Structure 1
Amino acid sequence: MALEVHQFACLSDNYGFLLHDPESEETVCIDTPDADAYLREAARKGWQISQIWNTHWHPDHAGGNAAIKAATGCKVIAPAAEAEKIADVDRTVKQGDVVAIGDWEAHVIDVGGHTNGHVAYHVPGAGLAFVGDSLFALGCGRMFEGTAPQFWSSLLRLKALPPETLIYCAHEYTQSNARFALHADPDNERLQRYAEKVEACRAKGIATVPTNLARELAANPFLRADDPGLQARWADRGARLGDPVATFAALRAAKDSF
């Protein structure tokens, strides 16, 4: 039986995710931005929460841990490098570790950059990845704690996933990300078509998450910092031919003030 992902809006622009295995009847909270919303949605689905997988320490990702654990007795799994900032942690994980829901394995990926200890959870057997704020549809997280070389290395790990992987990012930022992406890479026809679909979806209130890695590889400027054309276009802003780190840094700085 396939894994089920229940996605729902919470807070101002977060998405909550409940990952459910019908075979084992286990349910995992992917981050905990809003404890009440997670408990309500789990009850509505008739699912018992057994685990929390935190991607990073920010309150809109780990702020509901204590309340959900108190209500359900679930186990909390969190990145080792940020465990001291996260409530009620039972197990810490890092790059290369494996967690599980029933018989399904999820591989832990170091995606530090937005925060230094940020991790993602990739479930290869189901073709999906929960990436928190490391990667967004047509964007990436603001570099609050990390460095450009660190963040680019993290994005390379995500770029290496199978292109059909569904990417579950944590916020509905795609419309604003698309505006910057079109500014950064205006001649990209795949991006232009993608941006048109985003506008149509948001006009109808339709979520743009999850996204597909293949789509992001073709259109997301932050994943394309190794593209010579993009490097040349951004040369006057610090990008350099053959230097994806400098190009990524230039793009990220420009997005911060866009």
Structure 2
Amino acid sequence: MLEIHQFPCLSDNYGYLLHDPESQETACIDTPDAEEYLRQAGRKGWQITQIWNTHWHPDHAGGNTTIKAATGCRIIAPAAEADKIAGVDRSIKHGDVVAIGNRKAAVIDVGGHTLGHVAYHLPGACVAFVGDSLFALGCGRMFEGTASQFWTSLKRLKALPPETMLYCAHEYTASNAKFALHADPDNADLAAYVEEITRRRARDLPTVPTKLERELKTNPFLRADDPKMRARWGGGDAVATFAALRSAKDSF
């Protein structure tokens, strides 16, 4: 079984080390804090052999050079953003496959937050590392993409098996929950989810990873194609509804 080691870093990021016991390979999922990644790998006794970047932002790729210098690892990153990411050894795009040992991950284009953002889906483990494309009860800000592009990306994630565990890159859930309740106030599943989130955060426990099945019922951005959401937010279609939700969240 693959092992996933999750740890907080920077102000609100999560770091992830993905370890394959058979091959003894270890992949960093993004590199927000190089020293913390090296420290955590050392504590586990794992040798970092790869970095899988989701997008170019410094709190996701800023530690590449330091970790590569310390370990000699290979850096895998989205081709559309490779010119903005340090030390790339392999550029990947939608439909490509990466591997850790014999475990394969599908590369999914989830552009919108940034133009070339990718996610890594390991179907055998029922997990996906989604960076800043999707959060528990939220999604990333639309810094570079369009609403149409971002909604297409979210549909790709919506189509994954519902039991997929989504490993998001930040602990934004409490803030996202406030907007979700504003966006979808009559959702009983959401209300129950928010109560659980409140209890977890009161004990300083993480709310990530989150199961896709639950997000499909409660995340307003994933529900932009729901007739009730379209009626509430005035969208003529899912793209317009998503755009309205994203704009409202930006100023919430």
- Scaled by the length of structure 1, the TM-score of the pair is 0.97
**Aligned-partner Cα distance in 1 for 2:4–2:165:** 11
1:12 to partner: Cα distance: 0.2
**Aligned-partner Cα distance in 2 for 1:234–1:103:** 46
**Aligned-partner Cα distance in 2 for 1:152–1:234:** 16
Q: Which residue of 1 aligns with 2:43?
A: 44
Amino acid of the residue matched to residue 139 of structure 1? G
1:107 to partner: Cα distance: 0.2
Q: Which residue of 1 aligns with 2:146?
A: 147
**Does 2:16 match 1:17?**
yes
**Aligned-partner Cα distance in 2 for 1:30–1:86:** 14
**Aligned-partner Cα distance in 1 for 2:133–2:201:** 22
1:53-82 deviation digits (Å, cap 9, x = unpaired): 000000000000000000000000000000
1:62-121 deviation digits (Å, cap 9, x = unpaired): 000000000000000000000000000000000000000000000000000000000000
Superposed structure 1 runs of 4+ greater than 3 Å apart: none
5 Å-filtered alignment, 1:48-59, equals: 48-59=47-58
Amino acid of the residue matched to residue 152 of structure 2? S
1:141 to partner: Cα distance: 0.1
Amino acid of the residue matched to residue 77 of structure 2? A
**Aligned-partner Cα distance in 1 for 2:201–2:92:** 36
Amino acid of the residue matched to residue 254 of structure 1? A
**Does 2:63 match 1:64?**
yes
Q: Which residue of 2 aligns with 1:252?
A: 246
5 Å-filtered alignment, 1:227-238, equals: 227-235=226-234
**Aligned-partner Cα distance in 2 for 1:196–1:92:** 42
Amino acid of the residue matched to residue 10 of structure 1? C
Q: Which residue of 2 aligns with 1:120?
A: 119
**Aligned-partner Cα distance in 2 for 1:48–1:188:** 45
SS in 1 for 2:222: helix
**Aligned-partner Cα distance in 2 for 1:141–1:104:** 28
**Aligned-partner Cα distance in 1 for 2:95–2:140:** 22
Q: Which residue of 1 aligns with 2:216?
A: 217
**Aligned-partner Cα distance in 1 for 2:223–2:27:** 32
**Aligned-partner Cα distance in 2 for 1:162–1:94:** 21
SS in 2 for 1:5: strand
SS in 1 for 2:95: coil
Gaps of 5+ in 2: none
1:164 to partner: Cα distance: 0.2
5 Å-filtered alignment, 1:77-226, equals: 77-226=76-225
Q: Which residue of 2 aligns with 1:34?
A: 33
**Aligned-partner Cα distance in 1 for 2:214–2:47:** 34
SS in 2 for 1:250: helix
1:46 to partner: Cα distance: 0.2
Amino acid of the residue matched to residue 88 of structure 2? V
Corresponding residue pairs, total: 252
**Aligned-partner Cα distance in 1 for 2:86–2:215:** 33
What's the Cα RMSD here? 0.3
1:231 to partner: Cα distance: 0.6
**Aligned-partner Cα distance in 1 for 2:195–2:36:** 31
**Aligned-partner Cα distance in 1 for 2:210–2:25:** 25
**Aligned-partner Cα distance in 1 for 2:4–2:217:** 25
SS in 2 for 1:224: coil
1:249 to partner: Cα distance: 0.1
**Aligned-partner Cα distance in 2 for 1:30–1:234:** 35
**Aligned-partner Cα distance in 1 for 2:93–2:187:** 36
Gaps of 5+ in 1: none
